[in-house]
C-alpha cells in the first residue's frame, strides 16, 4: 500500500468517525422517563431512543418488619413497551379527537355513543275528596327518560382497521386479521345508565366483538 493510499484510508476513517460522532450528538432521544415517580431518585431515568423500546418501571411493595413497622421497597418489576404516536380516537359517529399513546399496553378510547331511552309509565285514574266534593282524575301516562353512554376501549396493540373510521390500525396487532371471511374488532365496553343529574349512575363493563359489516 502506497503512502497516498494509506493517507486516503486514514482520511476516510477519520471522516466516518466524525460523521458518526456528529450523528450521535445530533440524535435527540424520543423521551426521558422517570421509571419510579413514587420514589424520586431511587432509579436513574431511562432514555428512550427508539419506538417499541421496553421500559421497566418500579412497583412499590410494602413488607412488615419484625418491630411491627412497614417498609416500602421499589423494585423494578413492571415492563411496558414505549411508543410515541398520535392517533384519532373518541369517535362519536360524526367527529373524532386526537390521543397521544405512550405505551403499547395503553387503553385507547376508540368510540363513544350516547342514546336516550323513553318509557311511558301508566298512571291509573284516581278519585279523591277536594273541598267536600269527590274529584276523579283520569288515567294518564308519565314519560320517563334514561340516558345510556357507551365507551368502546381497546389496548393499543389490539387496535385494528375497524376500531376507528379512517385509521388503519396500530400495525402491530396480531389478532386483527380475517377469519372465516369476516374481520372482528374486540372492545372493552363501559356502559353507564343514568336518569337524572341527581340519580346514581350505574355502570357495567364487558367484552364485545364488533364485526366488519357492523362498523364499515
For the chain, the structural domain boundaries read 28-215
* CA–CA gap between residue 152 and residue 111 (Å, rounded): 5
Please report which confidence band the pLDDT of residue 54 belongs to, taking 50, 70 and 90 as the band edges.
very high
**Between these two residues, 151 and 145, which has the higher pLDDT value?**
151
Residue 117: beta bridge partners? 146
Q: Are 156 and 169 in contact (CB under 8 A)?
A: no
* CA–CA gap between residue 200 and residue 216 (Å, rounded): 35
pLDDT at 132: 73
Please report which confidence band the pLDDT of residue 176 belongs to, taking 50, 70 and 90 as the band edges.
confident
Nearest residue to 39 (alpha-carbon basis) of 54, 56, 55, 60? 60
* CA–CA gap between residue 78 and residue 55 (Å, rounded): 8
- Taking the model in full, what pTM does it have? 0.67
**Between these two residues, 27 and 123, which has the higher pLDDT value?**
123
* CA–CA gap between residue 133 and residue 37 (Å, rounded): 75
Integer CA distances (angstroms), 159 to 23, 67, 86, 153, 209, in order: 34, 50, 13, 9, 12
What is the chain's alpha carbon radius of gyration, rounded to the nearest angstrom?
Answer: 31
Model confidence at 25: pLDDT above 90: no
Q: Are 89 and 99 in contact (CB under 8 A)?
A: yes
The burial class, CB within 10 Å (0-12 / 13-18 / 19+), for 42 is middle
Amino acid at each position: 500500500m502506497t503512502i497516498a493510499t494509506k493517507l486516503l484510508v486514514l482520511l476516510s476513517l477519520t471522516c466516518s468517525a466524525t460523521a458518526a460522532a456528529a450523528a450521535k450528538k445530533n440524535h435527540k432521544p424520543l423521551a426521558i422517563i422517570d421509571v419510579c415517580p413514587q420514589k424520586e431518585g431511587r432509579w436513574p431515568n431511562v432514555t428512550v431512543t427508539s419506538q417499541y423500546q421496553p421500559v421497566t418501571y418500579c412497583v412499590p411493595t410494602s413488607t412488615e418488619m419484625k418491630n411491627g413497622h412497614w417498609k416500602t421497597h421499589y423494585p423494578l418489576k413492571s415492563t411496558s413497551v414505549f411508543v410515541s404516536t398520535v392517533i384519532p380516537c373518541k369517535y362519536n359517529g360524526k367527529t373524532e379527537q386526537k390521543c397521544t399513546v405512550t405505551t403499547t399496553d395503553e387503553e385507547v378510547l376508540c368510540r363513544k355513543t350516547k342514546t336516550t331511552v323513553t318509557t311511558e309509565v301508566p298512571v291509573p285514574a284516581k278519585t279523591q275528596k277536594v273541598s267536600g266534593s269527590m274529584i276523579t282524575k283520569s288515567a294518564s301516562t308519565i314519560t320517563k327518560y334514561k340516558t345510556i353512554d357507551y365507551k368502546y376501549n381497546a389496548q393499543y396493540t389490539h387496535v385494528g382497521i375497524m376500531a376507528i373510521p379512517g385509521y388503519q390500525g396500530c400495525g402491530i396487532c396480531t389478532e386483527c386479521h380475517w377469519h372465516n371471511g369476516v374481520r372482528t374488532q374486540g372492545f372493552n365496553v363501559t356502559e353507564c345508565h343514568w336518569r337524572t343529574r341527581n340519580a346514581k349512575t350505574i355502570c357495567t363493563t364487558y367484552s364485545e366483538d364488533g364485526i366488519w359489516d357492523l362498523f364499515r
